[in-house]
Amino acid sequence: MELTDNLNIKQFKPLTAPEKLKADLPETEAAAHLVAESRRWSSGSFAGTISSG
Amino acid sequence: MIIVGPCSLHDEEATLDYARRLLEVQKGCSEQLLVIMRAYFEKPRTTLGWKGMLYDPHLDGSYDLDLGIRTSREMLCEIAEIGVPCATEFLDPIVPQYLADLITWAAIGARTTESQIHRQMASGLSMPIGFKNATDGNIAVAMDAIKAASNPHSFLGIDRNGQVIVAETKGNKYGHLVMRGGTSGPNYSSEFVAFAEVLLNKGNISNGMVIDCSHANSSKSYKRQHEVLLDVADQIQLGNSSIAGAMLESFIKEGKQSIGAAGGFKYGTSLTDACIGWDETEELIGRLAEAVKAGG
């Protein structure tokens, strides 16, 4: 049967799954706190700053 | 908030050196500013070129993506351990599953703001998302993106185990505009900011904006970022409250270098867009902090 798909693919390579990479390089508690805190600051800095009046 | 750092990351030693310098700057202005480091691993290219460390960590066209994703995460973990929050541009919709837990702020680029795939992805991301105006300067495209991403979507993706799934999102209410200029010229001045405020207001978008001092706002000349940032600082000092942040492309040394240039790599110098150097960076962050204090 004549092939009709993947004609321009040379190779499929496996990739580590996100969960495995995160297990190898976990986010520490301090990092999680830093990210959460800075996201709150960031969101708060622009939320509602365009006035509706 | 100031989002500042190299156009792209490629060297661990210089990256961590830069992050430590930023931490010291942050300590001096923590009442006025949140300093977020640019940690960009995916680079969209106009035609061809190095696509960033995530795609090509060996910088030689060998595209070892497995290593690239690992190295990118490793760097984000190390920067977080130093105590500096990171910003990135998400390009491939699979990548957030690997890196998003370590990202404070993310951008959808000028070339992808119009893309439904990226709007859907943004609707499920956990951090504030800045949508850049289109490369021609069109703001309406970014406003459409903000609205689209604030709503729930269902789309194809992967889960934490790499399993192909349908992601059902809640919508991201922290989408906002990033003014980066366009082919029609810069759009950082107070007239353009006021015009954007009117459009956002009309479109019932209440989130303020970030001004990108680089790209078309600096007419692609890195040295002009200085005058752009000073103008933005003046606007803030005069009481503007819709500008929530600014973005600078900066590294330890000013300018840029080419991959494979004779003499090897120069330490702390950008491999993609040219950047301002460290001393100028420190000075500009100081000026912005001063403006926030005076305007606040």
Q: Is B83 exposed, middle or buried (0-12, 13-18, 19+ CB in 10 A)?
A: middle
Q: Has this prediction a pTM greater than 0.90?
A: yes
Split at pLDDT 50, 70, 90, the class of A51 is low
Q: What is the pLDDT of residue B55?
A: 97
pLDDT digits (tens, 9 = 90+) for B103-128: 999 999 999 999 999 999 999 999 99
pLDDT band (50, 70, 90) for residue B11: very high
| % pLDDT > 90, chain A | 83
The pLDDT value recorded for residue A53 is 46
Show Cβ contacts of residue B38 under 8 Å, excluding neighbours closer than 6 positions: B3, B4, B5, B6, B7, B86, B87, B88, B247, B249
Rounded average pLDDT over A20-35: 98
pLDDT reported for residue A47: 82
ipTM of model: 0.95
In this model, does residue B295 exceed pLDDT 70?
Answer: yes
Put simply, whether B268 touches A (Cβ < 8 Å) is: no
Q: Is B295 exposed, middle or buried (0-12, 13-18, 19+ CB in 10 A)?
A: middle
Across the A:B interface, residue pairs with CB atoms under 8 Å apart total 123
Using the beta-carbon criterion (under 8 Å), do A31 and B80 form an inter-chain contact? Answer: yes
Share above pLDDT 70 across residues of chain B, in percent, rounded to a whole number: 100
Residue A52: per-residue pLDDT: 53
**Averaged pLDDT, B48-54:** 94
pLDDT band at B263 (very low <50, low <70, confident <90, very high): confident
The answer to whether residue B29 neighbours chain A at the CB level (below 8 Å) is no
Question: So what's the pLDDT on residue B38?
Answer: 98
Q: Which residues of A touch B128 (CB under 8 A)?
A: 39, 42-43, 46
Q: Where are the beta strands (DSSP E) in chain B?
A: 2-5, 35-38, 86-89, 105-108, 129-132, 154-158, 164-168, 175-179, 209-212, 243-249
Answer whether residue A46 shows pLDDT above 90: no
Residue of chain A with shortest Cα separation from B105: A39
The proportion of chain B whose per-residue pLDDT surpasses 90, expressed as a percent, equals 94
**Whole-angstrom Cα distance, residue A47 to residue B87?**
18
Report which of residues A52 and B176 the model is more confident about. Answer: B176
- Min mean pLDDT across B40-49, B191-200, B211-220 is at B40-49
Query: Is the pLDDT reported for residue B154 higher than 60?
Result: yes
B12 at A interface, C-beta within 8 A: no
Residue B130 has phi, psi (to 5 degrees) of: -95, 125
What's the average model confidence in pLDDT over B23-44?
A: 96
Interface of B with A in 31-90 (CB under 8 A): 34, 36, 65-66, 69-70, 73-74, 77, 80-81, 83, 85
Put simply, the chain A residues between 1 and 53 with a CB less than 8 A from any chain B CB are 13-19, 21-22, 24-28, 30-32, 34-35, 38-39, 41-43, 45-52
